[in-house]
Chain A
Amino acid sequence: MTIDTGAGPRSAATTRGAARALDLLDGPVTDTTLRRYLEGIPGVDAVGLDQRAAGLGTRSIKTTSKAMALDRIIELIDLTTLEGADTPGKVRSLVAKGITPDPSDPTCPRVAAVCVYGDLVPVAIDALGALHAPRSREAGTGPGISVAAVATAFPSGRASLRVKLADVEDAVAGGADEIDMVIDRGAFLAGRYSQVFEEIVAVKEACRRPDGEDAHLKVILEVGELVTYDNVRRASWLAVLAGADFIKTSTGKVTSNATLPVTLLMLEVVRDWHRLTGEKVGVKPAGGIRTSKDAIKYLVTVAETAGEDWLQPHLFRFGASSLLNDVLLQRQKTKSGHYSGADYVTID
């Protein structure tokens, strides 16, 4: 199946994502058809969305439910370091933390993935060793830990498509299991929806590995730059139409990152997509989630919006770094019955 995408650089791309769009748009993927579709989606009332999120945030998760939630949060974390100062040593330390979050408690689960810049993917894989997800699965020793790489001129995305694709190809070649790409917010805000679409389709293509397995694609909307909920909803649909495996809120590099309302909104999109097609797309809030209390609100929101099915690492992730230690403190409290302290969890 081919799609007519106008003058786009990869106009003959053939992907699962493009097929999604073709079915729904009932015509070629152009700015016009995308605009017609995206702007035909009902609007979002900001006050109502905020109130619904606040309401979900008042759920009181106690005792056994809390213990379950804390472990699940750890299992859903993309433990992240995305600094200019990242070094192999820092990444090895992060990996060690991801493998053994709480050295004092062997029952503590492992994180879902570590998330690093593309050039550090080989370091992370090396550090994971047999616990790297593909090897672990192959050996039948559990899900292991995946390696996610940010790419496409992260975080701004301001580079040519050629450069962005090279970025992705490098990370995939380096063994990344997951690619966290950014959309071109400038193009989106200027109404060049087909350009955003095409880039996602192209990146999705670049996620293909010779072995036939795709690196999973997370599409970062950077909600803090899209600003309005209507934009977030449209961008979410656009990303899903273009083949995203996950939609992700933020890079963590702008002032406004993941919020509960915006995550709720994105969950509503994947829920609706599932109703429409039967396909499940994941959601990843990233940036700004630092406490167990907040993270539990997200779990509640996922469970009561998309459904409990979504509380799996292939459908929901937290992009976070400091969250893990707060969860560990809470987890220690739950187990011991008394409050723990910062010296009883490790820094990575």
Chain B
Amino acid sequence: MTRLAVPKTYKLYIGGKFPRSESGRTYEVASKDGAFLANAALASRKDARDAVVAARAAVKGWAGTTAYNRGQVLYRIAEVLEGRRAQFADELVRTEGLPAVTAEAAVDLAIDRWVWYAGWADKYAQVLGNGNPVAGPYFNISVPEPTGVVAIVAPQAGPAHSLVGLISAVAPALVSGNTVVVVASQAAPLSAISLGEVLATSDVPGGVVNVLTGSPAEIAPWLASHADVNALDLVGAGALDWVQLQMDAAETLKRVLIPEDGADPAAPSLDRIAAFTETKTVWHTKGLL
């Protein structure tokens, strides 16, 4: 006799909490072959707004931690992910219909990517920054700093996109100390909410990552035009009217990454860390007298 399973309620992840959409709406998530999997929250513009508020509130603390500490917190996430390998693989199998072996390999890849980015936290500034030999009696140094709140439309298609693509987009934004509002894969949002659970049980402060599920087409314009969002990663927005989103983002001169297609969108690179940093150059006089 088989045990009757206890299904999970998949909610949003905002400010370290798991609220339902303020709109009360949900949408049905189905497996590849059409079987019901969950009623995910269908986030509204107000949920997006709340997520930005939470993300903004978390910037100071997250950006203000030492790079060593941020690296450890990020690494801790990988540890917790590792402990939940089976769950993530299972969700990939159920949502994306991947073979178990493929799903497990994808989870491993996602975890390894997270570890790779965690290790960058206390190095990227050394690689991207520099001392500048100016022609005068000045100490002069350029260092990259987080830009602030980054809104991400996570990859929406491709094998294991709902986990590997998600993590590939979220992790690099976090490395420098940005906080994130991510719109998950619409079709396969389970990994994203489970990632929220991982974050909630690791050492990441609430609000550093906020996960919205629902319709990117509905939510992304609100994020793109939100004046308190500093950067917009449209990696997964290829199927949307992303040019309009980029134009919306221009209103407050947001930093924008445009959609990527291909097998491995948001493939690991230092450029993705750099994309959401600002170079600050500090001059100081030097005088013996």
A interface with B by C-beta (< 8 Å): 44-50, 227-229
Contact = CB atoms under 8 A, between A and B. Distances in A.
A45 B284 CA distance: 10
Interface in B25-84: none
Interface residues of B, number: 8
Determine the main DSSP class of A at the interface with B: helix
Contacts, number: 21
A228 B289 CA distance: 4
Nearest to B284: A47
21 contacts: A44-B289, A45-B285, A45-B287, A46-B285, A46-B287, A46-B288, A46-B289, A47-B136, A47-B137, A47-B138, A47-B285, A47-B286, A47-B287, A48-B285, A49-B289, A50-B287, A50-B289, A227-B289, A228-B288, A228-B289, A229-B289
Contacts of A227: 289
Contacts of A45: 285, 287
A46 B288 CA distance: 7
A148 B270 CA distance: 72
A48 B136 CA distance: 12
A348 to B, nearest CB: 35
B47 to A, nearest CB: 51
Interface in B135-151: 136-138
Contacts of B136: 47
The interface residues of chain B, by DSSP majority, are classed as loop
Interface string B258-288: 0000000000000000000000000001111
A213 B287 CA distance: 44
A49 B285 CA distance: 11
Contacts of A50: 287, 289
A265 to B, nearest CB: 10
Nearest to B287: A46
A65 B229 CA distance: 59
A49 B136 CA distance: 14
A127 to B, nearest CB: 41
A44 B138 CA distance: 16
A44 B289 CA distance: 9
**10 nearest interchain CB pairs?**
A46-B287, A47-B285, A46-B289, A47-B287, A229-B289, A47-B137, A228-B289, A45-B285, A48-B285, A45-B287
A46 B286 CA distance: 8
Given A50-B287, A227-B289, 6 more contacts: A45-B285, A46-B287, A48-B285, A50-B289, A228-B288, A229-B289
Contacts of A46: 285, 287-289
Interface centre among B136, B138, B286, B287 (most CB of A within 10 A): B287
Contacts of A44: 289
A227 B287 CA distance: 12
- Taking each of B136, B285, B286, B289, which has the highest tally of chain A beta carbons within 10 Å of its own beta carbon? B289
A336 B285 CA distance: 46
Nearest to A44: B289
Interface string B209-230: 0000000000000000000000
Contacts of B287: 45-47, 50
A229 B285 CA distance: 14
A268 to B, nearest CB: 15
A48 B289 CA distance: 11
A46 B138 CA distance: 11
A227 B289 CA distance: 7
